[in-house]
Structure 1
Amino acid sequence: MTARLRSLLGEHRVLHLPTVWDGMSARLAAEAGWPALLTTGLGIAATLGLPDLELYTATDNLQAVTRIADAVDVPVIADMDNGYGGPVNVHRTTTLFEHAGVEAVVLEDQRSPKTCPFYEGATVELESVGPAANKVRAAAEARRSDLLVIARTDASDPAEIRERATAYAAAGADLVMPNAPGPDFGLDDWAALRSSVGVPLVACVMPGSRAEREWDDDTLADAGISVVVDAIYGLLAAAHATRQVFTRMREDGLRATELPPLMAHHELGEAMGDGAVHALQKRYLT
């Protein structure tokens, strides 16, 4: 199954991935033409009304990822957090996510309780390199298909990023993702990292970041970056629009509210796949 994802990596000089958090967002992203999708743990936490502070469980995540994978026909990459325990837990978790139909998993090296590194003032604690690499090895050995393992590090120091990326690649990671490198980690560092680890690199682009403002695909590719995660843009847009609509409706009343453009009801139905269901009903019920 994951031959599709490997093929996409070969077809794109830089493969861009949006982040999705439920079946509806996944359908809309696929409809827009994105060739592959990445689930966002922050977004899955948000659907439960929780902050991204390791409050949802492996089961919560697996259920969300299963719904996303079922909703679309494009490859899905699953954010598997830190694997929800030690190497044996990671082994089992990888098996469960693989059975859910994803084509790659992202395994990070934060120690529990983990946090979103992009929260203001966040303090990130990492597993030691050896134990973190063992978890990568467990994920790589657990797979029974062509599942890709993406090892994410939340280290910020350039030397530590290189140390961890090298260890994770040696442990069996197919790609390495420096998720939150510090401001001193420049394009030369990305290029040197790609040369030393020998596997494709994944970069995360956040709204307002330097990468968003300054780095085009040619720049990214020349620096050895093969995959770019265009992170949480859809989630932030949806949350902002929903808050505005609910606030205006409550304050001004529905008739007086100047609403933003709304999707037509039939368009929503089409996006949700009602055409296929109606076709089955016509086939079996008439």
Structure 2
Amino acid sequence: MMKNTGKKAQQIKKAGQFLALHHDPELLVLPNIWDPVGARLLQGQGYPAVATASAAVAFSLGYHDGQKITLAAMIEAVRRVADSVDVPVTADMEGGYAEQPKDVAENMRQVLQAGAVGINFEDSRIGGDSLHDIDFQGDRIRAIRSMANQEGVPLVINARVDTHIREDDLSDEDRLAETITRAKTYLEAGADCIYPIVVHDLEILTTIHDAIQAPINVLALPNAPSMRELEAAGIARLSLGPFLFKAALTTMQNVAKELLAYGSYDVFSEGAMSGDEVHQYLRDGRMGA
């Protein structure tokens, strides 16, 4: 169990602040990052919380998404981000890096110990094409909530529901019904927010929201409703997933192509940050080893 220190008191406070953001009328926007300088940039721009993206962390280390990097590597990435900012940090922990509830709970204890106050937790079976049984996934969430209660930290659990990315023969009506059933089960087990990934139809989102009466997370897909529309519909949270990383990688690719094709590096003077602008997002002794 984590010691009851000043640092833990700050973590408890941050967890409460992060949960409160899910019940604010203003949409919580989370441009997911993967490293400390990105976290510092977002904090410097005024974002009230920072989220990691499992895909972005994995990509930055040269791996595919889907728990292809080790739990230790993911925890270390979370720790570096959490140590670099003063705002709450939530970590995308995929399927928990384990199957059984007690093992998942112990893994999520490490996330708390790394300084995060929230997690994404999905119901897909890692390495397979199916979802966990509804009640079993509820047990997994319940074990995480029990662990967090033992630690005395109100961990914010964003329960991802993957019914809309599963390949099966369900009708749209049955798929929506299962999404709602899963959402209600996960909330009863201790989740705080529901993340029906890739769902972007405003009517479907509203139907889910009306049925569960709880915060919903939406992924900022290119064809998703505007932030204003989501906020008006009562959606609590918008995340960017791996898209910020992809945007950064696209810029790197374009620069590399320009150098080879034209022998030009004009792009460096076209809106690029100055050294001083970069330095404002750094903090001596706070960026990890």
Q: TM-score, normalised by structure 1?
A: 0.83
| Aligned counterpart for 1:196 among listed residues 202, 211, 217 | 211
CA separation of 1:163 and 1:24: change in aligned 2, threshold 3 A? same
Mapped to 1, the partners of 2:159 and 2:106 lie a distance apart of 17
* Contact 1:190/1:224 (8 A) holds in 2: no
Q: Return 5+ residue gaps in structure 1 as ranges.
A: 115-123, 278-286
Q: How much has 1:252 moved relative to structure 2? A: 4.0
Q: Alignment partner of 1:16: what SS?
A: strand
Query: Structure 1 stretch 11-20 or stretch 168-177: which is displaced more?
Result: 11-20
Following superposition, the deviation at residue 65 of structure 1 comes to 0.7
Counterpart secondary structure, 2:239: strand
2:136 matches 1:131: yes
Q: 1:13 aligns with which of 9, 26, 30?
A: 26
TM-score by length of 2: 0.82
> 1:142-153 to 2 correspondence within 5 Å?
142-143=147-148, 144=151, 145-153=153-161
Percentage identity across paired residues of the two chains:
28
SS of 2:267's equivalent in the other structure is: coil
Instruction: State the 1:187 CA deviation.
Output: 2.7
Give, in angstroms, the shift of residue 96 of structure 1: 0.8
Post-superposition CA distance 1:85-128 (Å, at most 9, x none) = 121121101111111111111110010216xxxxxxxxx42112
Match of 1:67 among 72, 80, 87: 80
Gap regions ≥5 residues in structure 2: 1-12, 165-174
Aligned with 1:152: secondary structure? strand
2:162 to 154, 160, 172: 154
Q: Does structure 2 retain, via aligned residues, the 8 Å contact 1:149–1:173? A: yes
Q: Is 2:119–2:157's contact at 8 Å kept on the other side of the alignment? A: yes
Q: What are the within-5 Å matches in structure 2 for residues 108-127 of structure 1?
A: 108-113=122-127, 124-127=129-132
Q: Where in structure 2 are the equivalents of 1:38-117 lying within 5 Å?
A: 38-85=51-98, 86-113=100-127
CA root-mean-square deviation: 2.0
Task: Label 1:7 to 1:168 Cα distance change in 2 as closer, same or farther (>3 A).
Answer: closer
Q: Secondary structure at the match of 1:166?
A: helix
> What is the count of residue pairs matched by the alignment?
257
User: Equivalent residues in 2 for 1:233-244 (5 A)?
Assistant: 233-244=243-254
Give the structure 1 partner of residue 171 of structure 2. Answer: none
Q: Please give the alpha-carbon distance, in whole angstroms, between the structure 1 residues aligned to 2:241 and 2:62.
A: 19
**Distance in 2 separating the partners of 1:38 and 1:270:** 20
Cα distance change, pair 53–146 in 1 and its aligned pair in 2 (3 A) = closer
